[in-house]
Amino acid sequence: MSSRGLILAIESSCDETAAAVVERGSRTLASVVASQIPTHARYGGVVPELASREHLRAVVPVVRAALDEAGVTFGDLDALAVTSGPGLAGALLVGISYAKALSFARGIPLIAVNHLEGHIHAVLLNQREMALAAGEPDPADEPALALVVSGGHTHLYLAQPAHNSWTYKLVGRTLDDAAGEAFDKVAKLLGLGYPGGPWIDALARFGNPQAVPFAFSQIKTKLHLGGKAPRTKAARTAPIAALDPHFLFSFSGIKTAVLRYVELNGLRAEAQARAVLTLANPKPPQTREAALELCPQPVLDLVASFQHAVVGDLMKKTFAAAEALGARRILVTGGVAANRELRTRLTAEAQRRGIAAAFPTTALSTDNAAMIGAAAWPRFLAGEFAAADLSADPALALGV
């Protein structure tokens, strides 16, 4: 190994092509993300074939940009890391094929990383970088309850350090839609831009969160699934029989409730007009005046109430799990961790309970490759390299 411990990481599991150079899992020398949002925005969701095509176009320039920004060459690298799943098969394959070819051609070992483990390490990386900036030693690795909340996942894990490495135990998860998916679907039906999370986050500030009383009921797994894994895109990776129903999420109901509210209150026609407006101007409004120009008050109230309910449910189950497992530390990560209401309310409640809560920066919350480089570091130290036949695993699970 060279003295630097440099890993070039590549991430292409969904709609961002990303590359990063990370030193010893604790210092990001470069992190480049090429977003495909403009490609998918007009369809209101990720189109898998288009995603693969865009990754093919972007992967070489993105890797070059990361190396240039870090001021390193292939010869300086100690390892490559790539996301092997979960995600879109065709999208994952672009990153994996490229990383395997590079590994073979340059003789650099390759490490396969689970995207969800990457999200958890985004928080740990962020904490190490903050300590470094403050001239403090690396924070000690301690057990934590991790809420991974994104467009594809809403999963709770107990993450435990084990000899330079980490183990994960699945504690809870969604039975159907992921929280980010609910944000995206609700935004779509209200005629707002894609992805929906940042739009709802921006608009919710101007609405009354108590206006529409959305409620989540306690999930009865035995009745509705007989303990088996539900057959949905977001949640097909493991049986749920062993999980406490108090830590299970379900976000498809609230999406339907919003749809019903929109129809009952005649908000649909306006939503169609808004869709045209937001395509022309793809940034969420930041002032009350601009928000009101786009949405009447009842829509702002609906958006605020939806977000308030989702955040409340995420908090309720996360704190219930933390309490049951005796976790003194909560890590929140994934695209929805960028949500301002979630950050504020969860941080305040954690303080009230005397629990440490950490979120990554907004850039590290959404998909990026720095988190993949950070998660690869313990595997590098343990000599856990990918086999030559590494392939994409779209339903790759984390932990047991």
Which of ligand KG4, Zn ion, none lies near 198, with the C-beta cut-off 5 to 8 A by kind?
A: ligand KG4
Per CB under 6 A, residues contacting ligand KG4 are 14, 150-152, 180, 183-184, 195-198, 201, 334-336, 338-339, 366-367
Site for Zn ion in 38-57 (CB under 5 A): none
Contact between residue 149 and residue 334 where contact means Cβ atoms under 8 Å apart: yes
Q: Which two tokens stand for residue 226?
A: 């007989």
- Scanning 210-218, 286-294, 322-330, 361-369 for contacts with Zn ion by CB under 5 A, the matching segment is 361-369
CA-to-CA separations, 293 to 70, 272, 282, in angstroms, rounded: 43, 15, 15
Give residues with Cβ within 8 angstroms of 79, minimum separation 6.
6, 7, 8, 108, 109, 110, 111, 376, 380, 385
CA-to-CA separations, 296 to 252, 282, 286, 306, 366, in angstroms, rounded: 25, 18, 15, 16, 30
- Choose between 341 and 367: whose C-beta lies nearer to Zn ion: 367
SS3 321: helix
Least Cβ distance, residue 51 to ligand KG4 (angstroms): 12
Least Cβ distance, residue 114 to ligand KG4 (angstroms): 12
Torsions phi, psi for 44 (to 5 deg)? 70, 15
Least Cβ distance, residue 180 to Zn ion (angstroms): 9
User: Rule CB under 5 A: is residue 368 a binding residue for Zn ion?
Assistant: no
Contact between residue 179 and residue 316 where contact means Cβ atoms under 8 Å apart: no
- Scanning 124-132, 148-156, 230-238, 283-291 for contacts with Zn ion by CB under 5 A, the matching segment is 148-156
Which of ligand KG4, Zn ion, none lies near 196, with the C-beta cut-off 5 to 8 A by kind?
A: ligand KG4
- CA–CA distance, 184 with 188 (Å, rounded to integer): 6
Which of ligand KG4, Zn ion, none lies near 373, with the C-beta cut-off 5 to 8 A by kind?
A: none
Which of Zn ion, ligand KG4, none lies near 183, with the C-beta cut-off 5 to 8 A by kind?
A: ligand KG4
User: Rule CB under 5 A: is residue 365 a binding residue for Zn ion?
Assistant: no
- The conformation of residue 17, written as its DSSP 8-state character, comes to E
- Choose between 77 and 346: whose C-beta lies nearer to ligand KG4: 346
- Choose between 5 and 86: whose C-beta lies nearer to ligand KG4: 86
- CA–CA distance, 364 with 371 (Å, rounded to integer): 7
Which of ligand KG4, Zn ion, none lies near 285, with the C-beta cut-off 5 to 8 A by kind?
A: none
- Choose between 27 and 153: whose C-beta lies nearer to Zn ion: 153
User: Rule CB under 5 A: is residue 11 a binding residue for Zn ion?
Assistant: no
User: Rule CB under 5 A: is residue 367 a binding residue for Zn ion?
Assistant: yes
Q: Are strands 329-333 and 356-358 parallel, antiparallel or unpaired?
A: parallel
Torsion of CA 319, 325, 330, 331, to 10 degrees: -120
| Binding region for Zn ion (CB under 5 A) | 150, 367
